[in-house]
Chains A and B, each alone.
Chain A
Amino acid sequence: MGFNPLKNIKDEGNNAGIEMYGNKRMIVLDCECVVDFSESCIVLSLGNLYMKIRGDNLMISTFAYGQTDITGEIVTIEFERV
């Protein structure tokens, strides 16, 4: 199997991943739940990690079928161990 840099966020064996399209769109795979949600900050739970996305006009475009599609102007992404 080839190395997939988008599939190493969570523990080994899980399929969580992040795809980014510039700073306007971001797709997070296998997000467990939304912890916090506002126009300037979205916090997603990825199992052992919290992923904090900061920016402007943030919107959850899709939240279904195992993928979370976030659009808006993304400024920072932070990871925090739980």
Chain B
Amino acid sequence: MIYILRLLKGFVEFSAEGGFPERFINLCKIRGISLWGVKNDGVKVIAFTTEQEFQELKTPAENSGMMLKVIKKHGLKNFSKRHKWRCGVVFGVVMAFLFWIFMSGYVWEIEILETQGVNVEAFTESLADLGVKIGARKSEIDIIQVQNKLMNEYSELLWVSLNIFGGKVQVEMSEFVEQKEITDTKTPINLVASKKGEIVLVKGYNGVNAVKEGDNVTEGSLLISGVVKNFDGSEYFTRAKGEIFAKTKNNEKLVCKLKNKSEITCEAESRYYLYAFALKIPLGLKTDGGFLTESRKLLKSGKTALPFGIIREDDFKSIGKELEYSTEEAKLSALSEAVKIKREKYNHTELEKVEYSFVEAENKVEINSKINCVEDIAKETPILTEN
């Protein structure tokens, strides 16, 4: 601190030769001249004093027989005097300072935290619509209003918070935690067959079993009854619960046309932009817009992204094309689709037999899948009572 004050005030480094250094120092003290960094190398004394007090050193130097010599003048005054012709540098420093002040009033980065389940791109667009975007003036952002509007727009949000740190806007949010559906355990129901089949396993947890292993059932047959009889002959209703596994036969039919229209997406062109302070300066000609995607490579200072960089815009174009299949290709396409459906639909079943057969017709191929499997056929149905 003292050094900074001395720099601002300006100080002189000088040497004093010949005579009596001790006397010189003592005379300086008597006259109230402050000296510091006094060093005697045996030949001369080197010391520092303020510019103002250096003028007063002549008398003590004469009285002690010392010859004074200025080594160097330090401080802001001398620096500006030395570099008075370099006014451009000073102007540049001042302009840089003003530019820094001006730019710190704008938003240069938006960070969105905790985005589980929220579409970041859509959310960023919503923020931009509310005035929170790169290049926006910080003073024009009404934080409370933006928060309230976001809460209204995104009903899944529990809370949202907007914080501005320098040129960075940080958006933090939390979503509602979905509550598990409360399963009804009280309404009395029956379990009936959802499809016909041969019962192979009965696991009754609650209610009265109406079938046993080896029975054949049709769709809608009662499997576990929710009506239970007491020993005294009276009845009460309960919620039937259990698993009934049966061998079932399923048929699936799928058609594949020989002429198929499909859309192929391909990358057409990339276009680059120079990005500086929210301005996009194109570095190429504009392309006819298809489906545009944007990727940014920004300069970074630590973790903070600076508003300078390169933006790459890829223009994807969709081309509709009519594909004509040969019969074999159509069969293969239909088979792959049938296998996909089988995987999705019969994922939790034990497959016993799967057969595929093709029927060729005009301009199309039909695939019939016969799937024999063991699956849980129990289906809940409410008990209908009078009144």
A residues near B, CB below 8 A?
33-39, 59-65
Q: Does B28 contact A (CB under 8 A)?
A: yes
- Complex CA–CA separation, A78 to B35 (angstroms): 25
Contact B41 A61 (CB under 8 A): no
The smallest C-beta distance from B229 to any residue of chain A, in angstroms, reads: 101
Asked if A60 and B38 sit within 8 Å, CB to CB, the answer is yes
Of all A-B residue pairs in the complex, the 4 with the closest CB atoms, nearest first, are: A64-B34, A60-B38, A33-B26, A34-B22
Across-interface contacts of A39 in B (CB, < 8 A)? 39-42
Give the docked Cα–Cα distance between A35 and B22 (Å). Answer: 6
A-B contact pairs, 30 of them (CB 8 A): A33-B22, A33-B25, A33-B26, A33-B29, A34-B22, A34-B26, A35-B22, A37-B21, A37-B40, A38-B40, A38-B42, A39-B39, A39-B40, A39-B42, A59-B37, A59-B38, A60-B36, A60-B38, A60-B39, A61-B36, A62-B34, A62-B35, A62-B36, A63-B28, A63-B35, A63-B38, A64-B29, A64-B33, A64-B35, A65-B34
CB contacts (< 8 Å) of A64 on chain B: these are 29, 32-36
Distance in angstroms from A42 CB to nearest chain B CB is 9
Compute how far the CA of A59 lies from the CA of B45 in the bound complex, rounded to whole angstroms. Answer: 10
Closest chain A residue, CB of each to CB of B38? A60
Interface footprint category on B:
10 to 19
**Interface class of chain B by DSSP:** mixed
Closest to A69 in B: B36
Q: Chain A residues near B21 (CB, 8 Å)?
A: 37
- Minimum distance in angstroms from B285 CB to a CB of chain A: 70
Contacts A60-B35, A64-B34, A65-B34 aside, 8 further interface pairs with beta carbons under 8 A come to: A33-B22, A33-B26, A36-B22, A37-B22, A39-B40, A60-B38, A64-B32, A64-B33
B59 to chain A, nearest CB (A): 17
The one of A36, A38, A63 in contact with B29, judged by C-beta atoms closer than 8 angstroms, is A63
Determine the chain B residues whose CB is within 8 A of the CB of A35 once the complex forms.
Answer: 22
Query: How far, in whole Å, are A37 and B221 apart by their CA atoms in the complex?
Result: 119
The residue of chain A having its C-beta at the shortest distance from the C-beta of B39 within the complex is A59
